Structure 1
């Protein structure tokens, strides 16, 4: 073993395990809630939410990837599945033959409108309601610092857009 390793003490191990379980469990719980209430997965909801906030409901695929901090290949496969379900349209970008404009269909709009109330309630009940305002501020500060550390170290490359 490397003698320079800064091993976690018992309290740090407890914090790490709690964070790890939260990261893994929260995404699954969120997906279950969305699928139950709207038949959308969390990633589908994220794409539709980004499109619903975009001017004219249309975005370049690469801009969606950047907004969501996702790899373009992951998004490309998802957009193909969403188009097959009738949630989005993929159209060649008139300015760039290699790019695609993604727009929300009427079915996509109906799906996000059906999903949003339950999603917001889930987030409120499971993230904000259990925490005091001071704990919410502490959570924001902690998650911001962790993301910054990952980016500074070069580990946060998911959303890198070429």
Structure 2
């Protein structure tokens, strides 16, 4: 394989690569801009709140939260700090070993997420789903999932399942 000459992309492959490259840069920027303009929350903050809302007891270790958000630990730590400043998230010692830290979604944070959800949903429908035929959604989701590694297996949203505003049980007071 080392001595094989690279095979150029055919026109359809080239068009796909270029369009996909534009989309992976443009779509998150549009989501972020609309959330900031209409809700005063960034896409990264929204994503942290969403993942916490889907977690058991609305709680995740910081390392797990960073992995689910595809952010660095320092990046998610900065976002959690901002969200702590608005009382949307609390940082607490991890229950399992007491050495690490967990982020916990507060009631105020859940309310914040529920308030921002319609804006994000409208943005997703307008800037993403409106451009994919319903009969292609499953295939597209599977292809992108293979490329990106997919959602964690315990994600609250499946390809066939609805994904409405989060409203999970109150976090338990004990670990």
Would you say same fold, with TM above 0.5? yes
Structure richer in helix, relative to its length: 1
Indicate the residue corresponding to 1:76 in structure 2: 77
Q: Map 1:95-110; keep pairs closer than 5 Å.
A: 95-110=96-111
Structure 1 window deviating more from structure 2 (90-99 vs 117-126): it is 90-99
Structure 1 window deviating more from structure 2 (29-38 vs 4-13): it is 4-13
Give SS of 1:96's match: coil
**Partners of 2:123 and 2:80 in 1: CA distance:** 25
Gaps of 5+ in 2: 150-175
Indicate the residue corresponding to 2:57 in structure 1: 56
Contact (CA 8 Å) 1:38, 1:111: kept in 2 or not?
no
TM-score (ref. length: structure 2): 0.72
Name the count of aligned residue pairs: 147
TM-score (ref. length: structure 1): 0.77
In the TM superposition, residue 92 of structure 1 has moved relative to its aligned partner by 1.9
Structure 1 window deviating more from structure 2 (106-115 vs 43-52): it is 106-115
Contact (CA 8 Å) 2:88, 2:107: kept in 1 or not?
yes
Indicate the residue corresponding to 2:48 in structure 1: 47
Gaps of 5+ in 1: 149-162
In the TM superposition, residue 31 of structure 1 has moved relative to its aligned partner by 0.1
